[in-house]
Structure 1
């Protein structure tokens, strides 16, 4: 193993908390179950950079059949960005240790442009990544093969020398099918064990 390709959310950054999800539900109004179906159904074009934040929320509310004005759009965008902005400091510290050991670091994240810009403005540790495969900028998202292939090309290494780390098993399986090594993330401790084994 010469490089580690990290997922962002669920590994380095935390997934949405119950509190942040409740805030989004209250802001949107209506039935929470219908809201989340619409939220995730319309998410892929947003992650791939095909629509802006306002365009995404227009699509969500069109699916819900609910009215949406500018003020509510701004509130939803703010609540959504905040819900994805909590960092796991232990994972960030692990990035520093790996970089100091000479491991090449890459990032492959399904992330919309609004959130990518927020992270770039507030998280200096992103500079540790030699390659940043942000779905909104490369035009494809996990588990699409093209997303992994883009990162492999940019890292300039054979797939078998790259360990892909993600909290979603389907994303790891997609990487394995392309010849990368894979680890389904559950904790920094278990990842450290995998890294020790992979680097032998």
Structure 2
């Protein structure tokens, strides 16, 4: 509950990060499958997986190029079926849902609040995620970093997302799990909450006077 005299913020759209906001933690079985396909120990695979990830997200490497670069780094020449398997497992890794936040996105949409996604995501990941999660078609606008050759927290990517939502930046609430991306959104003029745990997120909404946005999906009810 919020005090009767607490002023509500003006929020006409909610812009979601994808990974670790709409999804939960990575699937350990999918991680193990990729590690097995490359025959690598945990430390070597973790280093290789993240080394080129920003280039993949930015679109300077496509998905097949990303996995080929990993193979080259660890001394493997990967055949097409191996790359296919790695791409499929990587999609599963990042499609374990954070159901309370997915349900909230659907509630916002049903109540007429505009919704968008702003995610650092490479091309093959995007194709896999959209195929696996048909409810993502319900968002008003999707901004995936590789399309723009940009990544969060670069200013232009937030501007693109706001333009796509057709809502002024100051009337958009952005939700992301990374502090640097939250700072980028605030610098772009958006309202923002860092997502860490579900209870903390709901408390942050209440603290800004937006409890009704959570419960009903619209602050204008």
The question of a shared fold, defined as TM-score above 0.5 by the shorter chain, is answered with yes
**1:175 to 2:201 alignment:** no
* CA-based RMSD: 2.0
Aligned counterparts, 1:100-111, within 5 A: 100-111=110-121
Does 1:98 find its partner at 2:108? Answer: yes
- 2:168 corresponds to which of 134, 158, 163: 158
1:34-183 alignment runs, 5 A limit = 34-183=44-193
1:92/1:125 contact within 8 Å kept: no
> Aligned partners of 1:14, 1:158: CA distance in 2, in Å?
29
Distance across 1 between alignment mates of 2:154 and 2:141 = 18
User: 1:44 Cα deviation (Å)?
Assistant: 1.8
Give the unaligned 5+ runs of structure 1: none
* Alignment gaps of 5+ in structure 2: 1-10, 214-218
Alpha-carbon distance in 2 for matches of 1:121, 1:35: 26
- Matches of 1:29 and 1:172 in 2, distance apart? 37
Q: In 2 relative to 1, CA 142–50 (structure 1 residues): closer, same or farther, beyond 3 Å?
A: same
Question: Is the Cα–Cα contact under 8 Å of residues 176 and 195 in structure 2 kept in the other structure?
Answer: yes
User: Which residue matches 2:39?
Assistant: 29
After TM superposition, the score normalised by the length of structure 2 is 0.81
Measure how far apart 1:52 and its partner are: 2.6
Question: Contact between 2:27 and 2:92, CA under 8 Å: does it hold in 1?
Answer: no
| Partner SS state of residue 170, structure 1 | helix
Cα deviation per residue 1:73-112 (whole Å; 9 max; x = unaligned)? 2222222122112222222111111122221111101112
The whole-number CA distance in structure 1 between the counterparts of 2:76 and 2:42 is 13
SS in 2 for 1:107: strand
Paired with 2:127 and 2:67, the residues of 1 have a C-alpha distance of: 18
Q: Shift of residue 69 of structure 1?
A: 2.8
The 8 Å contact of residues 27 and 93 in structure 2, kept in 1 or not, is answered as yes
**Partners in 2 of 1:18 and 1:124 — Cα distance?**
23
SS in 2 for 1:34: helix
Q: Secondary structure at the match of 1:4?
A: strand
Equivalent residue, structure 1, for 2:3: none
Q: Partners in 2 of 1:168 and 1:131 — Cα distance?
A: 21
Highest Rg: 1 or 2?
2
TM-score (norm 1): 0.88
Q: Deviation per CA, 1:157-180: give whole Å up to 9, x if none.
A: 222211110111121111112221
